[in-house]
Amino acid sequence: MDVSESGLLRTFSTLDKDDNGRVWAWELLSTLGQAGIQPTDPRVRAALADVRDPEGRQIRIDIQPVEIDFRQYAGIAQHGDGVVYRALAGELAVAPDEFQEYASSVEAMYGDLLANRDGKVADYIPTLRDADPERFGIAICTADGQTFSIGDADLGFSVQSTSKPFSYAMALEQLGPTEVHQWVGQEQSGGTFNDYRLSLGEGRRPHNPMINAGAMATLALVDHGQETSDRFRTVRETWTRMMGQAPGFDQETYLAEKATGDGNRGLASLMKAADMLKASGEDGAAKTADFYFQVCSLEVDAQRLAAAGATLANGGIAPYSGERVFSPETAGRVLSVMGHSGMYNDSGKFSDQVGLPAKSGVSGNVMMVVPSKRLAVVVFSPRLDAAGNSVRGVEVCKRLVNEFGLHPYRGLGAERSRAVAARSGQQLAGALNEADRRAEAASAVDRALGGLSRPGTGGAGTAQTTDTERAGAAATRRTGQQTQQL
């Protein structure tokens, strides 16, 4: 990124408090940290890796107490997508102060919700049944890769159903919506996500890509016709591009999903029999189900999954690399389906209470996207409610939305009523000024008339009027305050 000299000088001078042309590296890193850009960020690492001393040796400014000069700063600031400059210039998705507010709020929620032990872990396979229910991690990632995390945010878990929005995105990218929606619908299903009765919606398609039948129907389209190993590589690479790091693979979960996967294999077979699964060959259905189990067994953590969510929040551009992974249309379609069907059978209630697109998985993860702030929040906590959503996860989403007024349908008209109140406040202030002006003029007349004005005549009458006006003005002032509060 090329930045003007004046921009570089201006941002350098915010760090160079002694005005001696040098800044401590720790000062730079701590200012970046305030903006949510961490020293571990691959972009920061890459920018710092290029810093050389006058002899051309690499300086490890992340571990050595060193000072850098303006020339070195200019190199760091403009490196790659210029994240260092943009952080210092206040040009990131979320302003540093606001980002700090999210971070402190999440930190407080984390402390508060540790005591919430409601719900129970999924028990249909050993790896989930044996998960430590106390685990709890929260991560935030913005479109510009500003991150904050707390607790077990780097603890791996199988992504499970939270893979579904991304598999849908991959199918959309490869084939476009017309082809994809020949195989899967866009409506709420009303049934459970894992309903093993094949219930086809309008057009004899599974209702949407968030239920198992629909997820398998979309996954069947990804790299269709290629070997499962190649298809799996495509999926894993897409996840790597979104997260800036490769996902792991939870082999035990995969084997257990496969061993207990008759329901999903059955669904795939029924869909194939009804010509609603793009899979050929006698083992086409079983292979599709197997591909689905593999994708559900990808291992992520809250931090990495938040980066995948931020890719959606950023219209398909990955936060750490700036690489376009999905088109804006694809990202929009994925968020739409998450908005109406991402939270199992509580999707409607979640939409009412939270109003933002989210997806959960039975390992206890919830990924919520806040499009208006271009950020994603991921919570990992294995205890689930009756609908299969992480109890603490849903709670964090609700609290965040309430605390920061992020619900898109709540408080509508508030801006307008504030504007109306402000306008009527201005009118009231005008009336007050007018009353005061008239009162002032009346007393000036009184003063000028002096003893000439007799009680009961015009002067006193004017004074009475003035008192009435003042009383009215005071009443108006109170009303004005009430209007403002409304």
Residue 294 or 321: the one with the smaller Cβ distance to ligand GLU is 294
Smallest distance, Å, CB 393 to ligand GLU?
12
Beta carbon of residue 15, minimum distance to ligand GLU (angstroms, whole number): 46
Cβ atoms of 198 and 270 within 8 Å: the answer is yes
Nearer to ligand GLU, 195 or 446 (CB): 195
Which token pair is 418? Answer: 């504030």
229: exposed, middle or buried (C-beta count within 10 Å: 0-12, 13-18, 19+)? exposed
Shortest approach of ligand GLU to residue 344 CB, angstroms? 7
Q: Nearer Cβ to ligand GLU, position 166 or 193?
A: 193
- Residue of 153, 267, 276, 296 interacting with ligand GLU (CB under 6 A): 296
Site mask, ligand GLU, residues 148-187, x = CB under 6 A? ------------xx--------------------------
Q: Which of 85, 157, 166, 193 binds ligand GLU (CB under 6 A)?
A: 193
Nearer to ligand GLU, 256 or 325 (CB): 256
Site size with ligand GLU, rule: CB under 6 A: 10
Query: What is the spatial distance between Cα 15 and Cα 64, in angstroms, rounded to a whole number?
Result: 18
Which tokens belong to 158? 């199988």
Pairing state between β 67-69 and 22-24: antiparallel
| Nearest by Cα to 206 from 166, 159, 264, 163 | 264
Give the nearer residue to ligand GLU in terms of CB position, either 269 or 466: 269
CA distance 323 to 202: 36
Cβ of 77: how many Cβ atoms within 10 Å? Answer: 24
**127 touching ligand GLU, by CB under 6 A:** no
Residue 160 C-beta: closest distance to ligand GLU, Å = 3
Q: How far apart are CA 248 and CA 325, in angstroms?
A: 19
Nearer to ligand GLU, 253 or 321 (CB): 253
Q: Which of the residues 221 through 260 are near ligand GLU (CB under 6 A)?
A: 257
The CB-side HSE value for 358 (13 A sphere, CA atoms) comes to: 34
Nearest approach in angstroms of CB 65 to ligand GLU is 47
* Amino acid occupying residue 46: A
Give least dist CB 341 to ligand GLU, A.
12
Site string for ligand GLU, 8-47 (x = CB under 6 A): ----------------------------------------
Least Cβ distance, residue 115 to ligand GLU (angstroms): 26
Min. distance of Cβ 161 from ligand GLU in angstroms? 3
Binding flag, residue 366, ligand GLU (CB under 6 A): no
Q: Of 105 and 194, which CB lies nearer to ligand GLU in the complex structure?
A: 194
Q: What is the DSSP string of 176-215?
A: HHHHHHHHS--S--SS-TT--S--B-GGGSBS-TTSHHHH
Cβ of residue 391: shortest distance to ligand GLU, in angstroms? 15
Quick one: how far is CA 46 from the chain centroid?
26
The whole-angstrom separation of Cα 126 and Cα 249 is: 16
Cα-Cα-Cα-Cα torsion 166, 171, 173, 174, nearest 10 degrees, comes to 150
Q: Is 361 in the site for ligand GLU (CB under 6 A)?
A: yes
User: What distances in angstroms separate CA 156 from CA 269, 297, 300, one per listed residue?
Assistant: 32, 11, 5
Give the residue with the Cβ less far from ligand GLU, 66 or 387: 387
Q: Please calculate the CA angle 98-357-223 and round it to the nearest 5 degrees.
A: 120
Q: First-to-last CA distance in the chain?
A: 47
Q: Of the candidates 142, 186, 238, 264, which one interacts with ligand GLU according to CB under 6 A? A: 264
C-alpha 292, offset from chain centre: 26
Mask for 310-349, x = binds ligand GLU (CB under 6 A)? ----------------------------------------
Q: Say which DSSP state 345 is in.
A: G
Instruction: List residues near ligand GLU by CB under 6 A.
Output: 160-161, 193-194, 212, 257, 264, 296, 361-362
